[in-house]
């Protein structure tokens, strides 16, 4: 098997296990809750999908796009990639991806960084498309 040690395979957590563990530790909100928070300017709505997904499926009006691979760096004030002034770090970070898996992992990562107000949208962009949010 390409020289992969069977012990290594048996000790690696699956991506689904990581998502399941993250979901136990993070806050999951509905599209209605996210829409209300966003409409009342109570959160930073963050789309972590890849740019190609945005181009193909559309964007959520008033959402900030931060690619998943750059999220921790753009939100770390000590990082050279920090985007000062892009987001209000005192507001809740409401994350979403296409279906809710990447955003669950991302929310867990932000929580691990020390962010207290973090959540992700149940169902991701798939659920957002049939909600009150406007897609542009």
Residue 14 lies inside a defined structural domain of this protein: yes
Nearest one of 109, 92, 117, 126 to 19, comparing CA atoms: 109
Residue 134 lies inside a defined structural domain of this protein: no
Domain count within the chain: 1
Residue 1 lies inside a defined structural domain of this protein: no
- Give yes or no for residue 1 having a pLDDT over 70: no
Structure tokens belonging to residue 20: 């399941």
Residue 12: the pLDDT is: 87
Residue 34 lies inside a defined structural domain of this protein: yes
Q: Determine contact, residues 46/96, Cβ cutoff 8 Å.
A: yes
User: Which are the contacts of 134, defined by CB distance < 8 A and separation ≥ 6?
Assistant: 60, 61
Share above pLDDT 90 across residues of the chain, in percent, rounded to a whole number: 91
Residue 3: the pLDDT is: 60
Q: Identify the sign of the CA torsion 32, 52, 88, 117.
A: positive
Residue 136 lies inside a defined structural domain of this protein: no
pLDDT in tens, 66-105: 999 999 999 999 999 999 999 999 999 999 999 999 999 9
Span 17-30, average pLDDT: 97
Residue 126: the pLDDT is: 97
Span 27-50, average pLDDT: 98
Cβ neighbours around 129 below 10 Å, total: 14
Q: CATH number, domain at 39?
A: 3.40.250.10
- 3-state DSSP call for residue 20? helix
Residue 96: the pLDDT is: 98
Structure tokens belonging to residue 50: 């890849």
Structure tokens belonging to residue 59: 């964007």
Structure tokens belonging to residue 41: 């300017």
- Find tokens 């190609």 and name the residue: 52
Rounded mean pLDDT of the chain?
94
């Amino acid at each position: 098997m390409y020289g992969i040690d069977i012990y290594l395979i048996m000790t690696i957590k699956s991506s689904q296990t990581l998502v399941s563990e993250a979901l136990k530790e993070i806050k999951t909100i509905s599209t209605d809750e996210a829409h209300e928070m966003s409409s009342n300017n109570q959160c930073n709505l963050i789309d972590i999908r890849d740019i190609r997904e945005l181009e193909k499926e559309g964007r959520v009006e008033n959402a900030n796009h931060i690619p998943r691979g750059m999220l921790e760096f753009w939100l770390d004030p000590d990082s050279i990639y920090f985007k000062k002034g892009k987001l209000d770090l005192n507001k809740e970070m409401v994350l979403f991806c296409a279906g809710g898996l990447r955003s669950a992992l991302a929310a867990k990562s932000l929580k691990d960084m020390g962010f207290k107000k973090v959540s992700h949208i149940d169902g991701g962009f798939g659920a957002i498309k049939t909600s009150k949010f406007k897609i542009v």
